[in-house]
Chain A
């Protein structure tokens, strides 16, 4: 099998991690990939439904395919906290 699912939005193909939507390669299989994605951040306090006690610094990070803009992953983080790296063995 040359194409293998590794998340709802990513596949492994020909030794690379690729966007499942368009096939764009984000780096070698078995390694972190988020630094190759397009990152946008949104303060959680600005999201609809934010509560009165929400931390002003907390962010929603969104990682998108730089080729087709498909949303690949998201994570909650404070500025400076490292990316959460999910790695499926090659």
Chain B
């Protein structure tokens, strides 16, 4: 095939995915899709192999491939032109029940030539807690409906009995219907554009280009791996649910042109729903691998071939049915993301050629806070606080991380603006801003996370309730690199109004300290936001890189002036003494000398 035709087809495939994403967003009415970009669209070969991975949450790329393969097995002989299948069972392929896959075969002249697949986190899935994250669940049976594969659209016609059954099991069926229609439209556009491509260049040519594209990706990744040093790198992530601590432990071994991710040593599966399935773990390790190792390589089956995963059955990274699993995406999967990001970052940092591609761990602790209740218009609102997608960049070997700079597993993640949330829910923001001392200290500082507080406002029921889950607020998770500190920790605080109400001043408090009343740390369960109570949330920054004592004092001072680093952190972590807005050079020299000397007081080894 001539290289120009190949290149055109490759770009057209990417554009097919791009246009399908646009369609998904145009039809969807959910903030989690349109604002948070909790979505994914990709193309797959006729056998279900990943052909063209799109943007969105990248841990879905391989899981949706497995979903295609599961449907191919289940519906052999019954896959027809115009069909669309639904799959959301985590023990078959999905990540958790709320992330529904709609996958569609693409036929050309009666022959199956490809698949398109997409997901959104639907408005509700009928789990015991609204919104799909179910911290109260004790098994998957209480986490909403769960299908290992069903035909939703038969030869272009929605199966009304199936449609009605699905919508009969969820809260806000009109919104779930819109979610499903957005995915149907997305798949329809993908099919139409794919067929237009085939009509223009011919099926054999497109097929050859697709096969070549996969082979090219494999060849290029193997070449890259051979350029990187052989070795093994380890990472460990802690998760905390109600005081119970779990570990995701990773040893990544690189030899020649292959990588093995071994999660042996990770904690046994939990009674809490932070577990994930093996397909989710596989997707979880690929989410950072795609952008960090394959930033210039097409994300497809060729990238998957040199990679192997070991995930012992019965652990939180390969849970067995019927373990609860609904919190996986902000639980064990993200810990896998973080661990893989850390080990890949260390491997890149070990290479002269690729050191500039290394990164500390980015925003490592999602929080799933789903508000639910009657909104100011009298309707039902269910939805996530999209601030969890705002993230924070890990430091790079050449520069600081980006403040509130997103996250590695989703290149297009973002948060809604305050006004959008206030228009959707009966709440009012007291403040939302960068969080001081949240970015990991280092020669290159991790990007800052942020903090916010909300109160009920104009609520017909006097307030609203929310479901909170995640990995807790007990542990730093955005690991540093090369001596850099980890990013700060999350924090969730229920501020009980003193005597049931806040003073006029605290109703407009600009900081958590200015809020009166008892402050109760929370991290798991269902809580009210009523009366004059407030919810304070802060999220972690990215990890730092390198020795904080080698950061130029002027840059530390600028961080203090900008409000990103406190004078205390400047002194204790960076050894920079700031006095009356200026650097005290003599005190800084003495401070740094003292901190360096303190490092040589050796402690007992682990």
Interface residues, chain A, with chain B CB atoms under 8 Å away = 4-9, 34-35, 38-41, 44, 47-55, 58, 60-64, 66, 69-89
Most buried by A among B476, B519, B597: B476
Q: List residues of B (218-272) whose CB comes within 8 Å of A's CBs.
A: 229-236, 238, 240, 245, 247
For A44, what are the chain B residues with a Cβ–Cβ distance below 8 Å? Answer: 475-476, 489
Q: Are B240 and A9 in contact (CB under 8 A)?
A: no
Q: Are B482 and A9 in contact (CB under 8 A)?
A: yes
Interface residues, chain B, with chain A CB atoms under 8 Å away = 229-236, 238, 240, 245, 247, 346, 349-352, 355, 358, 397, 435-438, 472-477, 479-486, 488-493, 519, 521, 523, 538, 545-549, 566, 568-569, 572-573, 596-606
Q: Are A8 and B481 in contact (CB under 8 A)?
A: yes
For B352, what are the chain A residues with a Cβ–Cβ distance below 8 Å? Answer: 4-5
Q: What is the minimal beta-carbon distance from A5 to any residue of chain B, in angstroms?
A: 5
Q: Are A86 and B480 in contact (CB under 8 A)?
A: no
A77, B249: Cα distance in complex, Å: 12
Q: What is the minimal beta-carbon distance from B253 to any residue of chain A, in angstroms?
A: 9
Q: Are B473 and A70 in contact (CB under 8 A)?
A: no
Q: Are B231 and A53 in contact (CB under 8 A)?
A: no
Q: Are A41 and B238 in contact (CB under 8 A)?
A: no
A55, B516: Cα distance in complex, Å: 25
Q: What is the minimal beta-carbon distance from B314 to any residue of chain A, in angstroms?
A: 21
Q: Are B229 and A51 in contact (CB under 8 A)?
A: no
Q: Are A40 and B489 in contact (CB under 8 A)?
A: no
Known contacts: A49-B437, A53-B491. The answer to whether A7 contacts B482 by CB under 8 A is yes
Q: CB within 8 A of A53: which of B247, B480, B489?
A: B489
Q: Are B238 and A52 in contact (CB under 8 A)?
A: no
> Using a Cβ cutoff of 8 Å, how many contacts connect chains A and B?
169
Q: What is the minimal beta-carbon distance from A42 to any residue of chain B, in angstroms?
A: 9
Question: Could you pull out 29 A-B pairs where Cβ atoms are within 8 angstroms?
Answer: A6-B231, A7-B349, A9-B483, A34-B605, A38-B599, A39-B603, A40-B598, A48-B572, A48-B573, A49-B435, A49-B438, A50-B489, A52-B519, A52-B521, A53-B472, A53-B521, A55-B240, A55-B475, A58-B474, A71-B547, A73-B482, A73-B483, A75-B236, A76-B476, A81-B236, A84-B235, A84-B236, A86-B231, A87-B232
Given contacts A47-B572, A85-B234, 7 further A-B contacts (CB under 8 A): A39-B605, A48-B437, A49-B488, A49-B569, A52-B519, A60-B485, A86-B234
Q: Are A55 and B606 in contact (CB under 8 A)?
A: no
A75, B361: Cα distance in complex, Å: 12
For B346, what are the chain A residues with a Cβ–Cβ distance below 8 Å? Answer: 7, 86
> Which A-chain residue is minimally distant from B397 (CB atoms)?
A8
For B521, what are the chain A residues with a Cβ–Cβ distance below 8 Å? Answer: 51-53
For A63, what are the chain B residues with a Cβ–Cβ distance below 8 Å? Answer: 483
Most buried by B among A5, A50, A84: A84
Q: Are B606 and A53 in contact (CB under 8 A)?
A: no
Q: What is the minimal beta-carbon distance from B535 to any residue of chain A, in angstroms?
A: 13
Q: What is the minimal beta-carbon distance from A6 to any residue of chain B, in angstroms?
A: 5
Q: What is the minimal beta-carbon distance from B263 to any residue of chain A, in angstroms?
A: 14
Q: What is the minimal beta-carbon distance from B241 to any residue of chain A, in angstroms?
A: 12
Q: Are B229 and A89 in contact (CB under 8 A)?
A: yes
For A72, what are the chain B residues with a Cβ–Cβ distance below 8 Å? Answer: 482-483
Q: Are B355 and A8 in contact (CB under 8 A)?
A: yes
A39, B572: Cα distance in complex, Å: 18
Q: Are A71 and B349 in contact (CB under 8 A)?
A: no
